[in-house]
Structure 1
Amino acid sequence: MSKHYLSKSALLLSLVAAAVGTTQLVQAEEANLETSPQTTALDTSTQVQASNPSVTEQVLPTSQTDNQEATQTPTPAETSEPEAVPVALNTDQATEDLTPVEGQNVNVRILSTTDLHTNLVNYDYYQDKPSQNIGLAKTAVLIDQARQENSNTVLVDSGDTIQGTPLGTYKATVNPVKEGENHPMYAAMETLNYDAANIGNHEFNYGLDFLQTVVKGSNVPLLNANVIDAKTNQPLFKTYDIVTKTFTDVDNNKVALKVGITGIVPPQIMNWDKANLEGKVTVRDAVQAVKELIPTIRAAGADLVLVVAHSGIGDETYTVGEENVSYQLASLEGVDALVTGHSHAEFPSAFYEKYANVDVNKGTINGTPVVMAGKYGDRLGVIDLNVTYTDGKWQVNKDKSSGSLRKIDTKSEAVDEKIIELAKTTHEQTVAYVRQQVGTTTAPITSYFALVKDDPSVQIVNNAQLWYVKNELAGTAEGQLPLLSAAAPFKAGARNDPTAYTDIPAGPLAIKNVADLYVYDNVTAILKVTGADLREWLEMAAGQFNQVDPSKAEPQELVNTTFRTYNFDVIDGVTYEYDITQPNKYDHNGNLVNETANRVKNLRYQGQLIDDKQEFIVVTNNYRANGTFPGVKNASLNRLLNLENRQAIINYIISEKTINPTADNNWRFADTVKGLDLRFRTADYAKSLLADGQDISYLEPNALEGFGTFRFNYLEPQVEEDKTTEQTPEEDVDQTPSKEGQETSSTNQTDKQPTENQAKADEQPQEENKEQAQNTTKPATNKANSPKQTATVQALSLSTAAAKSTKEAAPSRLSRVEKHASLPNTGSSATAFLNIMGLGLLGLAAKLGYKKKGIE
């Protein structure tokens, strides 16, 4: 080789080195600049996968945020160290080196999360303390471990990401994500190098405009194949993505694989978010949409097809347009693996072994590996595919492929430090937001016994809804009708979670407590129904209970744990009993199964038996109003009121200042269960709340960790002689106290969608209850604030600027708000001052033109 050639080569290498050095210098300088909201991360097509993210043991900060502006979350280049990958000398060489050869074998690992619901960090905003049972920051530890075991990974999420905790509410309604800004959840996914994420049903809760802003700001591809623009008849989102991955085969050779990824959402979003979606989008059947898309994905070069579905597994029976179709999706030809969610359940698990062609040991449905990784980041889904290049294409070896789950370490404080740091600003702002005091409760509000007796956590929700609607409908024709309210316990230990209960001590009530009472971002709605409709509504709710045998002396399970507690509506303003020796009239989907069954007994309004043709106005939420619930679907009037249920509760507490959440016992079990050994489970901790109560007794710890086994004891009701109503022998049934003289049952307090409450000790005499009700639930004389006015109250009703901006519209209401303008003393005086200043700036922003977006 000549010296001339070597000199030229040396010169060329020097120039390359100089160029690389200059690039690194520029990048280093740019990294030191303050990131603007418009900053974007590296193009995902050139992004290098991070390896071995640092993991530390850390307790999240609980102090309130200071007065600094929110900063943009770091890009992956700023937060992780990329692993070294081979650098090709030229494109031809790289292509040649990565081209598969006949018989080449690769172990591919698909990692997945689902239903994170803005549980970004390991923190319970309702209890205002760290929690080791939730959070993507903890799931990230498992992600790192799984990657260390096998670096050939694809990481995806199946949806319900931006709604679910006060952090989600804060970033959607108080300090909403702006154009060009990356939502903290997707910023975290970007940091963890997610390859794609599906769009779930709760992504639509804040409206299409907000969702489109979030989608545009995300550097992680957000996919959906079955939501169609109603005007253009074209897909509203990117229907699929093909990710090219460089993997290492079993012989340690590099090879390229192209993974096609698509996702779907239940068509029922058109009911659940009707106000946001009607006339704007249509939704195709999920199975048909995926089936038609598979050939397109293959034609685009995909070697493997991964479906990321936000849909439960369902069963073997398939109906076009149904909600839970993952069983059918796993059966489609051309689907190599399925990641699913929506049900907040786990697969593989023993529950599904009853279905045909399901192997819970291998984690497969009809031979296809499937995972459903729980909720809130509590599990990581792991699908291991063994693939071989045969006859010019990659084929999955089903006998060597499987799906499994890994649970986060709930005994350890180990988290991914990068996620903690990334979330720091938003987390602290959310903590400051939820600590805003809105009122005081004279008694604890818990939901431990909400499924077996009338409950204060549901009561306060119904009281607030009645208060709001009575003011809203004053002077209207609807306002002249009897007003009722429907609410359900949202947190009642569902999905076998002993921590999923509301537990609010007596004393100050903050926004975090209201969010704990009503966890969903629903909007109030009113329905006009008949007495017959009301009865069917309650017959559906009665599915919460198992049918019991009145002649059986052995223990019987009282509560149907497969029934969704958010469908157990308690309707206040009427009194009624459940005869659970009768079979259910409807199944859990609302299908009529026992036409002659009649569980609902002694249904009365103001002490009088209700006539089937009598009309009522019932306040509920948009989820219930837009569904197919028996009775509800017959409503002759169905109207959204454009104020969130949670905000109605906040406004009610602010108005009343001090509330008494005592339940009014307007429903009970009929005496047909007298003397039976009826058992149920709730959190074991609830045994400490029994005091001297006789209607519930503690037996022993339950086989399910964290739960206890309790007995429900039927007690004769306190009967008040009714001198105004003559009863026939058939009507002479023990009743709960009536509400005579009251137009509505606004005499009690409530709960929210996911809640259940504590047992009361000794119940008070009826007359005392009436007196308390009259003294503690006085509706305001002025009409409730309009949505625009309450937007400021919701955002930060406690900031001086917010109070001033609303004071002109409702001076009497805001004078009460100002009395609660200070935060609880949870930190140093300096920190408190900075926090109040920061909240003041947010309130000022609201005053200068913040327009609240609609939510579910």
Structure 2
Amino acid sequence: MMKKMKLVILETSDIHGSIFPINYGTNGKADVGLGKIATLIKKERSHNENIILLDNGDLIQGTPLSYHYARIMKEQQDNPMIILANELKYDAAVFGNHEFNYGKELLKAAVSESQFPWLSANILDVKTGNPYYGNPYFIKEMEAGLKVGILGLTTPYIPNWEQPEHIEGMHFEDAVEAAQKWVRILKEKEKVDVVIVAYHGGFERDLDTGEPTETLTGENQGYQICQEVEGVDVLLTGHQHRQIFGKEINGVIVVQPGNNGRVLGKVTLDLNDQSGSWQVVSKQSELISVEGIKEDRSLLKKVERYEKNTQKWLDQPIGKIKGDMIVKDPLEIRLGDNPLIEFINRVQMEAAGVDISNTALFDNQSPGFPENVTMRDVVSNYIYPNTLKVIRITGHDMKAALERSAAYFMQYDGEKIKVNPAFTTPKPQHYNYDMWEGIDYLMNISRPEGERIVKLEYQSAKIDPDAEYNVVMNNYRAGGGGEYFMYKGKPVIKDIPIDVSELIANYFLEKKTVTATVNHNWKVIHD
């Protein structure tokens, strides 16, 4: 007699420390967070017997709550994200690139506090060549003898972004090569019936046509995994913050559940067992939105003390602004020198002791600074746990970096200024447009990409392509992140291992009142 069963795989990814359904910048309500996701998970469990719950990475970093825990409370308390993941009975988790942001010690503690395995088939120990965290995969045996193998993979591009000391002793293997090796082991040695690959990475190609949608750096190898790795039934993805469902690539069902707990990823497999062998007969993927869903208050109570301490910290007054640093129009901020960006660059320059700096307006939701500044305002504007590096670059490198930033704009068509879709789709990358202080430059966006920097001077003289300049920037950019390849391997003159948000807060605390200034050292023009 033929047996049948339904297997449901639930995926969260890129939760980024989001627990409570609020926007920390305004404290207004928002349809985000594990509190709402928990309600959906419990509902799914009430309807389905055979469920596997997985987190696909970037769990423990990303909100003021997770930042406050990591920087202020970690010695006294367990990680709030792990408390909730344990409570929700996750089966396994995968390392995302942001798991490493707070250093090895905090990550090691998070792993040890977890009542579930963390999977890392392609994060290898340099000395032994074995998986650094010990678990390449996890096997779950379901009812009626169904054996499910879950393989964990992480984008190998992490060394391009992360502080070297945070990943010391680790080698990040190509995700496709690792998948080929370990899927074979799952099928041949472990004899699993179903293979799920949970990959903290996304898709480098159009899912329908296979055409490249980004520079093929190896950061997002999802399409390649589907095409080149035999035996995969389900590919869970993340990292790009996209919402992808209802797609199959080469017979592999794929899903990607956005970010911040806005949706829950769900894959449903129908299986038949004929003569002792389970076969997948149909598969589908969907996303379940948290919009309008009530948060699970009993779950949130487990970490209420973290939230109260965070809110108290966020509302601490730290200084005043004399003048205007409010963001009214993000595009306008990126079209010419302005007090907000000039201020952040000046904080960086003072901290580093150099006179050239670059930074970005990371997000279109960045509010700028009001007259009375609190920690909430700082973390609303500087949303990443970046630190600073001073690197030595040539004038040629500087020009190349400015041309990379100038590609943020479409070529001007005489009507309106438009942002290049490469910086907005599939994932917003406004953080990859840099604005500089300490040099004078003009970007002419009527010209083709690569030919837009029409003026570039330092101390009233043209930049010499062969001369060397010390520039302060965040650690992500200094490592070449955002396709700023000209920075890779450049000499690091100074490393400032303090979060930029902390440097900004300290600047306010020291100066008490900051005057908004703008010297108009750069501008975007069009003929």
TM-score (norm 1): 0.57
Matching residue of 1:581: 446
Q: Quote how far apart the aligned CAs of 1:405 are.
A: 1.3
Q: Does 1:107 align with 2:6?
A: yes
Letter in 2 for 1:125: Y
- The equivalent residue for 1:367 is 251
2:468 pairs with 1:604: no
Deviation at 1:277? Answer: 4.3
Contact 1:177 1:214 in 2 (8 A): no
Give distance in 1, aligned partners of 2:494 and 2:8.
48
Paired-residue identity, %: 32
Q: 2: CA distance between counterparts of 1:463 and 1:344?
A: 32
Give the corresponding residue for 1:782: none
Give the partner amino acid of 2:257. A
Q: Tell me the residue number matched to 1:379.
A: 263
Partners of 2:320 and 2:162 lie apart in 1 by 33
1:308 to 172, 184, 198: 198
Q: Aligned ranges for residues 773-792 of structure 1 at < 5 Å?
A: none
Q: Which amino acid aligns with 2:6?
A: N
Corresponding position: 1:669 with 2:524: yes
Residues 304/203 of structure 1: CA separation in 2 closer, same or farther (3 Å cut): same
1:587-626 counterparts in 2 under 5 A? 598-626=451-479
The aligned counterpart of 1:296 is 185
> How far off its partner does 1:257 sit?
2.3
Taking the aligned partners of 2:78 and 2:186, their CA distance within structure 1 comes to: 28
Q: Secondary structure at the match of 2:504?
A: helix
Q: Is 2:354 aligned against 1:445?
A: no
Match of 1:156 among 49, 54, 61: 54
* Residues 579-728 of structure 1 mapped to structure 2, 5 A cutoff: 579-585=444-450, 598-627=451-480, 629-633=484-488, 635-672=490-527
* Partner residue, 1:281: 170
Structure-2 residue corresponding to 1:137: 35
**Deviation, structure 1 residue 574:** 1.4
Q: SS of 1:330's equivalent?
A: helix
The aligned amino acid for 1:401 is K
Of 290, 301, 316, the match for 1:408: 290
For the residues of structure 1 that align with 2:327 and 2:173, how far apart are their CA atoms? 41
1:171-190 Cα offsets, whole Å, 9 max, x none, are 21211156xx6421122122
Q: CA deviation at 1:310?
A: 0.4
Q: Which residue of 2 aligns with 1:85?
A: none
**Distance in structure 2 (CA, Å) of the matches to 1:211 and 1:447:** 38
2:244 to 347, 365, 377: 347
C-alpha contact (below 8 Å) 2:367/2:381 kept by paired residues: no
2:24 equivalent to 1:125? yes
**Cα deviation digits, residues 341-384 of structure 1 (max 9, x gap):** 00111113xxxxxxxxxxxxx32222211110000001111111
Q: Which amino acid aligns with 2:103?
A: G
AA in 1 matched with 2:94: N
Contact 2:340 2:369 in 1 (8 A): no
Q: Tell me the SS of whatever aligns to 1:389.
A: strand
Q: Note if contact 1:118-1:165 (Cα within 8 Å) is conserved in structure 2.
A: yes
Alpha-carbon distance change, 451 to 393 in structure 1, aligned in 2, over 3 angstroms:
farther
Task: For 1:149 and 1:338, locate their aligned partners in 2 and report how far apart those are by CA, in whole Å.
Answer: 23
Structure 2 letter corresponding to 1:213: A
Aligned to 1:507: 371
How far apart, in 1, do the equivalents of 2:5 and 2:293 lie? 35
How many angstroms apart in 1 are the aligned matches of 2:350 and 2:153? Answer: 40
Structure 1: state its 5+ residue gaps.
Answer: 1-101, 247-254, 349-361, 471-478, 493-500, 586-597, 673-856
Shift, 1:666, TM fit: 2.6
**CA RMSD, Structure 1 to Structure 2 (Å):** 2.3
Runs of 5+ consecutive residues of structure 2 not aligned to the other structure: 424-428
1:491 corresponds in structure 2 to 363
Structure 1: distance between partners of 2:440 and 2:328: 21
Match of 2:311 among 417, 426, 431: 431
Alpha-carbon distance change, 391 to 545 in structure 1, aligned in 2, over 3 angstroms? farther
Whether contact under 8 Å (2:369, 2:377) holds in the other structure is no
Alignment of 1:131-280 (within 5 A): 131-176=29-74, 182-237=78-133, 238-246=135-143, 255-277=144-166, 279-280=168-169
Say if 1:194 and 1:455 are closer, same or farther in 2 by CA, change over 3 A: farther
Equivalent residue, structure 2, for 1:522: 386
Map of 2:426 onto structure 1: none
Question: d(CA) in 2 for partners of 1:408 and 1:528?
Answer: 47
Label 1:279 to 1:215 Cα distance change in 2 as closer, same or farther (>3 A).
closer
1:526 Cα shift? 0.2
User: 2:522 corresponds to which letter in structure 1?
Assistant: W
User: Is the CA contact (8 Å cut-off) linking 2:155 and 2:201 kept in structure 1?
Assistant: yes
| Pair 1:572-2:437 in alignment | yes
1:268-314 CA-to-partner distances (Å, cap 9, x unmatched) read: 21221242246411111111111111132232242211111100111
Aligned-pair distance for 1:104? 1.5
Classify 1:303/1:634 alpha carbon distance in 2 versus 1 (closer, same or farther; 3 Å): closer
CA distance in 2, matches of 1:160, 1:620: 23
Native 8 Å contact 1:330 1:337 kept in 2 = no
The 2-side partners of 1:116 and 1:485 are apart by 31
Do 2:321 and 2:372's aligned partners in 1 also have CA atoms closer than 8 Å? yes
Greater strand content: 2
Name the amino acid aligned to 1:524: L
Distance 1:278 1:196 in 2: 21
Cα distance, 1:137 vs structure 2: 0.6
Letter in structure 1 aligned against 2:14: D
Post-superposition offset of 1:444: 4.4
Give the direction of change, closer, same or farther, for the CA distance of 1:428–1:151 in structure 2 (3 Å limit): same
Equivalent-residue separation in structure 2 for 1:528 and 1:151 (angstroms): 58
**d(CA) in 1 for partners of 2:334 and 2:216?**
34
User: How far did residue 540 of structure 1 move?
Assistant: 0.6
Q: Distance in 2 between matches of 1:566 and 1:191?
A: 35
